[in-house]
Structure 1
Amino acid sequence: MKSLFKSKPKTPADLVRQTRDLLVSLDLGGTESKRDEKMMEMSKLIRELKQVLYGNSESEPVAEACAQLTSEFFRENTLRLLIICLPKLNLEARKDVSQVVANLQRQQVQSRLIACDYLEKNLDLLDILLHGYENTDLALHYGSMLRECIRHQCVARYVLESEHMKNFFDFIQLPNFDIASDAAATFKELLTRHKSTVAEFLTKNYDRFFAEYNTKLLESSNYITRRQAIKLLGDILLDRSNSAVMTRYVCLRDNLRILMNLLREPSKSIQIEAFHVFKLFVANQNKPPDIVDILVTNRSKLLRLFADFKTEKEEEQFEADKALVVKEIATLDPR
C-alpha cells in the first residue's frame, strides 16, 4: 500500500517551475524563519537543476531531460529572476546558479540555442551582469555568467557597443586581484571570440579604444596589467580579421614609442610579448617617415638589445623573426 502514496518524481519542467515560483516569493520577502526555509528549498532545487544538466558520479546527463529543462527555463523569465535574486542567495547557491546559467547557454532545443534568442530580447540583463563588477560579493558570479553569455554574437556586440565597454579599463585594474583577473578574462573574450564583430567594433571605435588601451593598460603602473595587455594586443593585431586595424596601429609613432618602452622592461615575458607586436612595425612595407626616423635614430640601441634577446626555450620561429627584424633595422635608410 505504501507505494500508492509515493510522490511522483519531478520532471525537469517541474523543477524549473518550482524554482521560478520560489524565486518570486523570495523576491516578495516574508518573515525571517520563512525566508530561511525558502532559502534551503531554493538551494536544493538549484542543485537538482544542476544535476539534470551535468549529471552526477553515477550517470551522464540525458539529452531529452536537458532539452525539457531548457525549454521551460526560457519559456518564462526564470533567468531574469535568478539574476535579480542572486544577491539574496547563499554562496553555494550562487556558485550552482553560475554553473546552471553557463550550461544553459550551450543547450540546443530542436537545433537552436534558445538562450541566444532569449538574451537578444532581454539585453538589459547584460547591464545587470556588467554592473556586477562593482559589487565585491557578486562580481565573480556575474562575471562567469557574462562570459558564457558572450558565446552569443548578439550579446558580444551589445556589450562592445555599450557604454559599459569603457568601464573594463578600470575593472581590470581593481585592487581586488580575483575580480580584476575575472574582468580581464571577460575583456579578452569580448575582443577575441567573434572575429567579424570585433573587427567592426575596432574599426568604428579605433581612436577612442586605443587611446584608452595605450594609456590605461599598456602604460599602467601595474605589472600584471601591462603583461596581460601586451599579450592581448598581440592576439588582436596578429588576427587576420583585424589586418586593417593592425595596419593603422603600426603607422603611429606614439604606438611605436610605447612598444619600445615595453621592450626595455625588466620582465622577460613582457619583452617577448612586446617583440611580437614591435616586429609588425618593422615588417610594415609602407612605414611612414616618422616611424623610419625613430627606428634609424634608435638603431644601435635596438641592435644591442636584440643581440642578447632570447626566449627561455630555444624557439626556431622566434629566432627567425628576430633575425628578420635585425636585418630590416640594420638596412633601413633615413627618409
Structure 2
Amino acid sequence: MKGLFKPKPRTPMELVLQTRDLLIFLDQNTETRERKRVEKMSELSKQILEIRIVLFGNGQAEPNPDACAQLAQEFFKHDTFRLLVACLPKLDLGARQNATHVIANLQRQRVGGRLIASEYLENNLDLMDILLPGYEDGDIALTYGAISRECIRHQIVARYVLGSEYMKKCFTYIQIPNFDIASDAQATFKELLTRHKSTVAEFLSANYDWLHNQTTCCQAIGRHAT
C-alpha cells in the first residue's frame, strides 16, 4: 500500500532546516565512519537538488514565488548560507554545482520588496574573507570565484572588497599559471571595477596611482612571458 501514496512535499522551512542539520554534521563530524558520512553526503546532495528545484522549477512547472521567498528568508535567517559556503569544498562536483546555482539565485530573491541577501551580507562581510582566498586553492577556485561575483552584485560587498587586502591580491590571482583560474579571477576583477560606478569612482580617486602601477607591472610581466 505504501507505493500508492506519494510522500508529502516538504515545506521550504523544512528543506532549509534539514539541509542545515546535514551541513552542520558535515562540518563538525570529521571523524565519522566513512559509511555514515557517505550516507549523509548523499542526503545532502538530494536536499540541495530539491532546493534548486524549488528556486528554478522542475522543467514542467515554474517556481512558486511565495515558496522561493520563504526559502530565501529561512536560508538567511538560520545562517545556512554561511554553512553552505564553508562546506562547499567537501561536496562532490554535482552537489557543488547545484549549490552554486542555489547561492546565485538567492542573491536575487526579494522578500517584501527587500533584497534580503544584501541585508544579510552587510552583516556578514567576512564571508568574502572565505570566498576570495579560494583562488589559492585549485579545487575550489572556480566555485568560490563564481559565488564571489554574485556577492559583488551588492554594492556593500563591492565596497568592502575594494577596500580590502584582497583587492591587492587580485593582481596575484590573475597571474596564476592555471589559465582557467586566472581568467576567472580576471572576470571577478572586472566585475569589481565595472558593477557599481559610484563606489568604483571613490576607489579610483583614492587609489589611481597604485592601480596604474600594478596594471603597468602586469602588462610588463605579460610581455616578458610571451
TM-score normalised by the chain length of structure 1: 0.64
Question: Structure 1 residue 121 and structure 2 residue 123: aligned?
Answer: yes
Cα 1:156–1:2 change in 2 (3 A) is: same
Equivalent residue number for residue 11 of structure 1: 11
In the TM superposition, what is the alpha-carbon distance from 1:113 to its structure 2 partner? 0.6
Equivalent residue runs for 1:18-33 within 5 Å: 18-29=18-29, 30-33=32-35
Residues 154-183 of structure 1, C-alpha deviation per residue, up to 9 Å, x if partnerless?
Answer: 000000000110111111111111101100
Question: Structure 1 residue 178 and structure 2 residue 190: aligned?
Answer: no
Question: Structure 1 residue 210 and structure 2 residue 189: aligned?
Answer: no
Aligned partner (choices 33, 49, 63) of residue 61 of structure 1:
63
Runs of 4 or more, structure 1, over 3 Å off, are 1-7
> Secondary structure of 2:222's match?
coil
In the TM superposition, what is the alpha-carbon distance from 1:41 to its structure 2 partner? 0.5
Gaps of at least 5 residues in structure 1 are: 227-335
Between the aligned partners of 2:37 and 2:86, the Cα distance in structure 1 is 17
Equivalent residue number for residue 151 of structure 1: 153
Between the aligned partners of 2:159 and 2:96, the Cα distance in structure 1 is 27
Question: Structure 1 residue 98 and structure 2 residue 107: aligned?
Answer: no
Residues 74-112 of structure 1, C-alpha deviation per residue, up to 9 Å, x if partnerless?
Answer: 011101101111111111111111111011000100001
In the TM superposition, what is the alpha-carbon distance from 1:193 to its structure 2 partner? 0.5
Aligned partner (choices 194, 197, 200) of residue 199 of structure 2:
197
Equivalent residue runs for 1:71-110 within 5 Å: 71-110=73-112
Cα 1:211–1:28 change in 2 (3 A) is: same
Equivalent residue number for residue 45 of structure 1: 47
Identical aligned residues as a percent: 61
Between the aligned partners of 1:185 and 1:81, the Cα distance in structure 2 is 25
Between the aligned partners of 2:174 and 2:152, the Cα distance in structure 1 is 18
Between the aligned partners of 1:7 and 1:92, the Cα distance in structure 2 is 25
Between the aligned partners of 2:216 and 2:57, the Cα distance in structure 1 is 45
Equivalent residue number for residue 254 of structure 1: none
In the TM superposition, what is the alpha-carbon distance from 1:221 to its structure 2 partner? 2.2
Once structures 1 and 2 are overlaid, which stretch shifts more, 27-36 or 135-144? 27-36
In the TM superposition, what is the alpha-carbon distance from 1:56 to its structure 2 partner? 2.1
Residues 195-250 of structure 1, C-alpha deviation per residue, up to 9 Å, x if partnerless?
Answer: 0000000101112121111112x323259x99xxxxxxxxxxxxxxxxxxxxxxxx
> Secondary structure of 1:137's match?
coil
Equivalent residue number for residue 219 of structure 1: 220
Between the aligned partners of 1:69 and 1:142, the Cα distance in structure 2 is 22
> Secondary structure of 1:79's match?
helix
Cα 1:71–1:8 change in 2 (3 A) is: same
Equivalent residue runs for 1:264-279 within 5 Å: none
Between the aligned partners of 1:186 and 1:137, the Cα distance in structure 2 is 18
Give the CA RMSD over aligned residues. Answer: 1.9
Between the aligned partners of 2:196 and 2:140, the Cα distance in structure 1 is 26
Gaps of at least 5 residues in structure 2 are: none
TM-score normalised by the chain length of structure 2: 0.94
Cα 1:67–1:222 change in 2 (3 A) is: farther
Between the aligned partners of 2:191 and 2:11, the Cα distance in structure 1 is 35
Question: Whose radius of gyration is greater, 1 or 2?
Answer: 1
